[in-house]
Amino acid sequence: MSKKPEITKPEKRCQIDILVSGRGTNMTALIQAAMQPEYPAMVRRVISNRADAKALSVAEAAGIETLVVAHKDYDSREAHEAALAQVLDADRPDFICLAGYMRILTGDFVKLYSGRLVNIHPSLLPSFKGIDTHERALAAGMRIHGASVHFVSEGVDDGPVIAQAAVPVLVDDSAESLSARVLAAENRLYPRAVELLARGDVRLSNGRAVFSRMDETATDAALFSPALSE
Protein backbone atom coordinates (compact mmCIF):
# COMPACT_ATOMS: atom_id res chain seq x y z
CA MET A 1 0.00 0.00 0.00
CA SER A 2 1.54 3.30 -1.10
CA LYS A 3 1.98 6.05 1.43
CA LYS A 4 0.28 9.39 0.90
CA PRO A 5 2.69 12.24 0.20
CA GLU A 6 3.32 14.39 3.23
CA ILE A 7 1.98 17.92 3.16
CA THR A 8 4.64 20.47 3.95
CA LYS A 9 3.17 23.22 6.08
CA PRO A 10 4.86 26.61 6.08
CA GLU A 11 6.54 27.47 9.38
CA LYS A 12 4.67 30.77 9.51
CA ARG A 13 1.71 31.83 7.45
CA CYS A 14 1.51 35.50 6.63
CA GLN A 15 -1.74 37.37 7.21
CA ILE A 16 -3.68 39.14 4.47
CA ASP A 17 -6.66 41.48 4.53
CA ILE A 18 -8.77 41.71 1.38
CA LEU A 19 -10.57 44.86 0.23
CA VAL A 20 -13.66 44.33 -1.93
CA SER A 21 -16.57 46.26 -3.40
CA GLY A 22 -18.55 43.68 -5.38
CA ARG A 23 -19.03 39.95 -5.90
CA GLY A 24 -15.50 38.98 -4.93
CA THR A 25 -14.52 36.23 -7.37
CA ASN A 26 -10.81 36.90 -6.86
CA MET A 27 -11.40 37.13 -3.11
CA THR A 28 -12.98 33.69 -3.28
CA ALA A 29 -9.95 32.33 -5.14
CA LEU A 30 -7.65 33.68 -2.42
CA ILE A 31 -9.81 32.25 0.36
CA GLN A 32 -9.90 28.83 -1.31
CA ALA A 33 -6.13 28.85 -1.74
CA ALA A 34 -5.65 29.87 1.90
CA MET A 35 -7.71 26.88 3.02
CA GLN A 36 -4.95 24.58 1.79
CA PRO A 37 -2.56 23.70 4.64
CA GLU A 38 0.53 24.10 2.47
CA TYR A 39 -0.41 27.62 1.34
CA PRO A 40 1.82 30.24 3.00
CA ALA A 41 -0.88 32.86 3.62
CA MET A 42 -4.17 33.05 5.45
CA VAL A 43 -7.03 35.52 5.12
CA ARG A 44 -7.39 37.59 8.28
CA ARG A 45 -10.37 39.72 7.30
CA VAL A 46 -12.44 40.92 4.32
CA ILE A 47 -13.30 44.62 4.32
CA SER A 48 -15.73 46.37 1.99
CA ASN A 49 -16.71 49.95 1.32
CA ARG A 50 -20.21 48.72 0.42
CA ALA A 51 -22.59 46.98 2.82
CA ASP A 52 -24.38 45.31 -0.10
CA ALA A 53 -21.25 43.71 -1.58
CA LYS A 54 -21.96 40.06 -2.36
CA ALA A 55 -18.37 39.24 -1.38
CA LEU A 56 -19.21 39.80 2.29
CA SER A 57 -21.71 36.94 2.46
CA VAL A 58 -19.34 34.69 0.52
CA ALA A 59 -16.53 35.41 2.98
CA GLU A 60 -18.79 34.91 6.00
CA ALA A 61 -19.92 31.55 4.63
CA ALA A 62 -16.24 30.55 4.48
CA GLY A 63 -15.77 31.53 8.12
CA ILE A 64 -13.84 34.73 7.39
CA GLU A 65 -14.39 37.81 9.54
CA THR A 66 -15.86 40.74 7.59
CA LEU A 67 -16.26 44.46 8.16
CA VAL A 68 -17.88 47.35 6.30
CA VAL A 69 -16.17 50.74 6.23
CA ALA A 70 -18.68 52.52 4.01
CA HIS A 71 -17.27 55.46 2.08
CA LYS A 72 -20.68 57.14 2.02
CA ASP A 73 -20.49 57.55 5.81
CA TYR A 74 -17.56 59.97 5.51
CA ASP A 75 -17.37 63.54 4.25
CA SER A 76 -14.18 63.03 2.24
CA ARG A 77 -11.97 60.41 0.68
CA GLU A 78 -9.28 61.23 3.23
CA ALA A 79 -11.66 60.72 6.16
CA HIS A 80 -12.78 57.37 4.77
CA GLU A 81 -9.21 56.23 4.25
CA ALA A 82 -8.27 57.31 7.76
CA ALA A 83 -11.02 55.04 9.13
CA LEU A 84 -9.88 52.21 6.86
CA ALA A 85 -6.26 52.68 7.95
CA GLN A 86 -7.34 52.47 11.58
CA VAL A 87 -8.87 49.05 10.92
CA LEU A 88 -5.87 47.82 8.95
CA ASP A 89 -3.41 49.03 11.57
CA ALA A 90 -5.36 47.11 14.22
CA ASP A 91 -5.26 43.95 12.08
CA ARG A 92 -1.58 44.43 11.16
CA PRO A 93 -1.79 42.31 7.98
CA ASP A 94 1.40 41.45 6.13
CA PHE A 95 -0.30 42.28 2.82
CA ILE A 96 -3.47 44.05 1.75
CA CYS A 97 -5.05 42.63 -1.40
CA LEU A 98 -7.43 44.69 -3.51
CA ALA A 99 -9.95 42.36 -5.15
CA GLY A 100 -12.41 44.43 -7.13
CA TYR A 101 -12.09 47.34 -4.72
CA MET A 102 -13.67 50.17 -6.68
CA ARG A 103 -12.04 53.11 -4.97
CA ILE A 104 -9.12 55.19 -6.21
CA LEU A 105 -6.72 55.43 -3.28
CA THR A 106 -4.94 58.64 -2.40
CA GLY A 107 -1.18 58.92 -2.59
CA ASP A 108 -0.92 59.28 1.19
CA PHE A 109 -2.77 56.01 1.76
CA VAL A 110 -0.66 54.18 -0.82
CA LYS A 111 2.55 55.46 0.77
CA LEU A 112 1.35 54.28 4.18
CA TYR A 113 1.23 50.66 2.95
CA SER A 114 3.87 50.75 0.23
CA GLY A 115 5.15 47.28 -0.59
CA ARG A 116 2.24 45.65 1.22
CA LEU A 117 -0.62 46.83 -0.99
CA VAL A 118 -1.34 44.78 -4.13
CA ASN A 119 -4.00 44.76 -6.83
CA ILE A 120 -5.17 42.63 -9.72
CA HIS A 121 -6.06 44.29 -13.02
CA PRO A 122 -7.72 42.73 -16.10
CA SER A 123 -5.08 43.55 -18.70
CA LEU A 124 -1.43 42.94 -19.46
CA LEU A 125 -0.05 46.09 -17.88
CA PRO A 126 1.12 48.62 -18.84
CA SER A 127 -1.48 48.25 -21.61
CA PHE A 128 -5.08 49.28 -20.93
CA LYS A 129 -4.93 50.85 -17.52
CA GLY A 130 -8.25 51.89 -16.01
CA ILE A 131 -11.70 50.61 -16.98
CA ASP A 132 -13.30 48.85 -19.98
CA THR A 133 -10.12 46.89 -20.64
CA HIS A 134 -11.77 44.12 -22.66
CA GLU A 135 -13.64 46.48 -24.97
CA ARG A 136 -10.46 48.48 -25.51
CA ALA A 137 -8.40 45.36 -26.21
CA LEU A 138 -10.90 44.26 -28.85
CA ALA A 139 -11.09 47.74 -30.38
CA ALA A 140 -7.29 47.81 -30.62
CA GLY A 141 -7.23 44.47 -32.43
CA MET A 142 -5.18 42.72 -29.77
CA ARG A 143 -4.45 39.02 -30.28
CA ILE A 144 -3.28 38.52 -26.68
CA HIS A 145 -4.95 39.89 -23.58
CA GLY A 146 -4.72 38.93 -19.92
CA ALA A 147 -4.37 39.98 -16.29
CA SER A 148 -1.69 41.44 -14.03
CA VAL A 149 -1.04 41.45 -10.29
CA HIS A 150 0.98 44.50 -9.27
CA PHE A 151 2.15 46.52 -6.32
CA VAL A 152 -0.10 49.54 -5.89
CA SER A 153 1.57 52.88 -6.59
CA GLU A 154 0.22 56.43 -6.60
CA GLY A 155 -0.75 56.16 -10.28
CA VAL A 156 -3.85 54.22 -11.34
CA ASP A 157 -2.84 50.65 -12.32
CA ASP A 158 0.72 51.90 -12.53
CA GLY A 159 2.69 49.87 -9.97
CA PRO A 160 5.44 47.28 -10.62
CA VAL A 161 4.13 43.98 -11.94
CA ILE A 162 4.41 40.88 -9.74
CA ALA A 163 2.82 38.29 -12.05
CA GLN A 164 0.84 38.12 -15.29
CA ALA A 165 -1.35 35.64 -17.14
CA ALA A 166 -2.02 35.80 -20.88
CA VAL A 167 -5.06 34.53 -22.77
CA PRO A 168 -5.68 34.47 -26.53
CA VAL A 169 -8.19 36.83 -28.11
CA LEU A 170 -10.43 34.76 -30.37
CA VAL A 171 -11.74 36.06 -33.68
CA ASP A 172 -15.38 35.83 -32.53
CA ASP A 173 -14.80 37.22 -29.03
CA SER A 174 -17.16 39.72 -27.47
CA ALA A 175 -16.22 41.80 -24.47
CA GLU A 176 -18.24 39.37 -22.34
CA SER A 177 -16.58 36.19 -23.62
CA LEU A 178 -13.13 37.71 -23.37
CA SER A 179 -13.88 38.96 -19.86
CA ALA A 180 -14.90 35.46 -18.75
CA ARG A 181 -11.67 33.96 -20.11
CA VAL A 182 -9.55 36.62 -18.42
CA LEU A 183 -11.42 36.24 -15.13
CA ALA A 184 -10.69 32.51 -15.08
CA ALA A 185 -7.01 33.36 -15.50
CA GLU A 186 -7.23 35.99 -12.73
CA ASN A 187 -8.63 33.43 -10.31
CA ARG A 188 -5.53 31.29 -10.82
CA LEU A 189 -3.06 34.16 -11.00
CA TYR A 190 -3.88 36.05 -7.81
CA PRO A 191 -3.25 33.14 -5.40
CA ARG A 192 0.03 32.44 -7.17
CA ALA A 193 1.15 36.06 -6.84
CA VAL A 194 0.23 36.18 -3.15
CA GLU A 195 2.15 32.93 -2.65
CA LEU A 196 5.25 34.60 -4.11
CA LEU A 197 4.81 37.52 -1.72
CA ALA A 198 4.16 35.33 1.29
CA ARG A 199 7.24 33.21 0.64
CA GLY A 200 9.39 36.29 0.23
CA ASP A 201 10.15 35.53 -3.41
CA VAL A 202 9.25 39.05 -4.52
CA ARG A 203 9.31 42.44 -2.81
CA LEU A 204 9.09 46.11 -3.67
CA SER A 205 12.45 47.90 -3.64
CA ASN A 206 13.18 51.39 -4.98
CA GLY A 207 10.00 51.37 -7.01
CA ARG A 208 10.67 48.00 -8.65
CA ALA A 209 9.51 44.44 -8.11
CA VAL A 210 12.61 42.50 -7.07
CA PHE A 211 12.57 38.71 -7.30
CA SER A 212 14.81 36.65 -5.02
CA ARG A 213 14.91 33.65 -7.36
CA MET A 214 13.65 32.50 -10.70
CA ASP A 215 10.21 30.93 -10.83
CA GLU A 216 10.90 27.20 -10.96
CA THR A 217 7.59 26.58 -12.72
CA ALA A 218 8.46 28.87 -15.62
CA THR A 219 9.29 27.35 -18.99
CA ASP A 220 10.44 28.61 -22.36
CA ALA A 221 6.98 27.96 -23.77
CA ALA A 222 5.15 30.95 -25.24
CA LEU A 223 1.51 31.57 -26.06
CA PHE A 224 1.11 32.30 -29.77
CA SER A 225 -2.10 33.66 -31.24
CA PRO A 226 -2.85 32.62 -33.93
CA ALA A 227 -1.17 29.33 -33.02
CA LEU A 228 1.96 28.31 -34.88
CA SER A 229 1.74 25.21 -37.04
CA GLU A 230 3.91 22.24 -36.03
In a domain, 221, yes or no: no
The whole-number pLDDT of residue 1 equals 45
Structural domain includes residue 196? yes
pLDDT of residue 215: 56
Q: Is residue 154 part of a domain?
A: yes
- Please indicate, yes or no, if residue 217 is contained in any of the structural domains: no
pLDDT at 12: 84
CB pairs under 8 A, 24+ apart, for 181-187? 182/122, 182/134, 182/145, 182/146, 182/147, 183/25, 183/122, 185/146, 185/147, 186/25, 186/26, 186/29, 186/120, 186/122, 186/147, 187/25, 187/26, 187/28, 187/29
**Which one of 80, 121, 145, 150 is the catalytic residue?**
121
Domain annotation covers residue 109: yes
Kindly state the percentage of the chain with pLDDT values over 90: 86
Write the pLDDT tens digit of every residue in 43-61: 999 999 999 999 999 999 9
For residue 180, the cross-strand partners are none
Residue 149 in any domain: the answer is yes
DSSP bridge pairs for 166: 146
Helices (H), ranges, the chain: 25-34, 54-61, 77-91, 107-112, 133-139, 175-198
The range of the structural domain enclosing residue 181 comes to 14-211
Does the pLDDT at position 223 exceed 90?
A: no
In a domain, 229, yes or no: no
134 is catalytic: no
For residue 226, pLDDT over 90 is answered with no
Give the pLDDT confidence score for residue 7 in this predicted structure.
47
In a domain, 1, yes or no: no
Helices (H), 93-165: 107-112, 133-139
**pLDDT at residue 216 tops 60:** no
Please report, for the domain that includes residue 33, its CATH number. 3.40.50.170
Q: State how many domains the chain has.
A: 1
- Would you say residue 142 has pLDDT above 90? yes
